[in-house]
């Protein structure tokens, strides 16, 4: 099932995507999509609906959940991306966080004030459905509602050249687009067999497959749960394949007027216009 939140003239409405790609209004069944609506029990109820019989609605994509609690990130999770960044292959998942609000699939990317190196990173996002604490890998998928596309937008100068941890280069406003849908596990039988593609102005910059991740989805969820009690509505983004701007020769970075398109098998497509700060 593909779930989303749609901005309409009457406000944000919860929606599902039917087999033909049309948006169907869920507001007679749930008030919104939040941590309560992505519990295993509620997802089971929603899956039983005949989506094709629901009213069709129009609008653009809002953030996939009303109340995403926290956005965890895994760095250097593809062998060839670690190589292009000239960093060692990690022995354990590299965990950090983004501290900016999540945005929708078509909301703009804003180049922050003073930025010279705003970069792209397509990633698979994992949406947590129920509390996970010290869980085993074999239990991990029982705590996952589904998946989405993420772009871990990063300012490399802020990230690398101002000391301390990466969060300062990862958390500028608009740096956490997710979407367009939350796709439940029944629609994604194997999260380790998904093609990822990111283009800037129609030119392919990143192309990869989740089969080449160093740490798998179950490994990541179990690992994070050792150190942080995961809660419904938390999202983990799982690292990026090679082709980021800072790793290219010569280096490339986003500029106002660029269009960034990101897609993953079965998860739809995001497209954002790049704008200047205050522009």
Q: Based on the fold, state whether residues 42 and 109 are members of the same structural domain.
A: no
Domain that holds residue 270: 71-276
Give the pair of three-digit tokens for residue 28.
């007679």
Give the pair of three-digit tokens for residue 85.
């960044």
Q: What is the Cα–Cα distance from 145 to 11, expressed in whole angstroms?
A: 25
Structural domain ending residue among the three candidates 11, 33, 61: 61
Q: Based on the fold, state whether residues 13 and 146 are members of the same structural domain.
A: no
pTM of the model: 0.96
Number of domains in the chain: 2
* Inside any domain, residue 66: no
| pLDDT, position 82 | 80
Structural domain ending residue among the three candidates 10, 37, 61: 61
* Inside any domain, residue 43: yes
Q: Which residues of 159-195 are buried (b: 16+ CB within 10 A; e: fewer)?
A: beeeeeebeebbbbebbbbbbbbbbbbeebeebeebe
Q: What is the Cα–Cα distance from 225 to 6, expressed in whole angstroms?
A: 31
CATH code of 138's domain: 3.90.850.10
> Tens place of pLDDT for every residue, the chain, 279 residues?
999 999 999 999 999 999 999 999 999 999 999 999 999 999 999 999 999 999 999 999 999 999 898 999 999 999 888 888 887 889 999 999 999 999 999 999 999 999 999 999 999 999 999 999 999 999 999 999 999 999 999 999 999 898 888 999 999 999 999 999 999 999 999 999 999 999 999 999 999 999 999 999 999 999 999 999 999 999 999 999 999 999 999 999 999 999 999 999 999 999 999 999 987
Q: Based on the fold, state whether residues 153 and 109 are members of the same structural domain.
A: yes
Q: Based on the fold, state whether residues 196 and 243 are members of the same structural domain.
A: yes
Q: Based on the fold, state whether residues 26 and 132 are members of the same structural domain.
A: no
| pLDDT, position 164 | 84
Structural domain ending residue among the three candidates 26, 61, 96: 61
* Inside any domain, residue 41: yes
| pLDDT, position 67 | 87
Q: Based on the fold, state whether residues 48 and 83 are members of the same structural domain.
A: no
Q: Based on the fold, state whether residues 35 and 130 are members of the same structural domain.
A: no
Q: Based on the fold, state whether residues 153 and 30 are members of the same structural domain.
A: no
Q: Based on the fold, state whether residues 54 and 85 are members of the same structural domain.
A: no
| pLDDT, position 83 | 82
Nearest to 199 by CA among 105, 120, 116: 120
* Inside any domain, residue 83: yes
Q: Based on the fold, state whether residues 20 and 80 are members of the same structural domain.
A: no
Q: Based on the fold, state whether residues 170 and 259 are members of the same structural domain.
A: yes
Measured CA to CA in angstroms, residue 255 lies from 99, 119, 121, 220, 252 at distances of 23, 10, 15, 33, 9
Q: Based on the fold, state whether residues 269 and 189 are members of the same structural domain.
A: yes
């Amino acid at each position: 099932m593909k779930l989303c939140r749609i901005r309409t003239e009457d406000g944000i409405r919860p929606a599902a995507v039917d087999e033909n790609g049309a948006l169907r209004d869920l507001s007679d069944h749930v008030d919104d999509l939040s941590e309560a609506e992505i519990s295993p029990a509620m997802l089971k109820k929603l899956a039983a609906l005949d989506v094709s019989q629901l009213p069709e609605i129009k609008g653009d994509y809002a953030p996939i959940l009303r109340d995403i609690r926290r956005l965890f990130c895994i760095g250097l999770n593809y062998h060839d991306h670690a190589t292009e960044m000239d960093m060692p292959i990690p022995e354990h998942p590299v965990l950090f966080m983004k501290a900016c609000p999540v945005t929708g699939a078509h909301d703009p990317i804003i180049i922050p004030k003073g930025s010279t190196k705003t970069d792209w990173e397509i990633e698979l996002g994992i949406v947590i459905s129920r509390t996970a604490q010290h869980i085993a890998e074999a239990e991990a998928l029982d705590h996952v509602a589904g998946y989405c596309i993420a772009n871990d937008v990063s300012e490399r100068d802020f990230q690398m050249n101002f000391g301390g941890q990466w969060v300062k280069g990862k958390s500028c406003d608009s740096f956490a687009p997710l979407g367009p849908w939350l796709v439940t596990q029944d629609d994604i039988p194997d999260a380790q067999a998904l093609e990822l593609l990111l283009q800037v102005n129609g030119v392919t910059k990143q192309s990869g497959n989740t089969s080449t991740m160093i740490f798998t989805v179950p490994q990541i969820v179990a690992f994070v749960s050792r150190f942080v009690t995961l809660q419904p509505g938390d999202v983990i983004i799982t690292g990026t394949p090679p082709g980021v701007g800072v790793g290219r020769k010569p280096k490339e970075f986003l500029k106002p007027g660029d269009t960034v398109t990101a897609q993953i098998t079965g998860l739809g497509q995001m497209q954002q216009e790049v704008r200047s700060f205050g522009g």
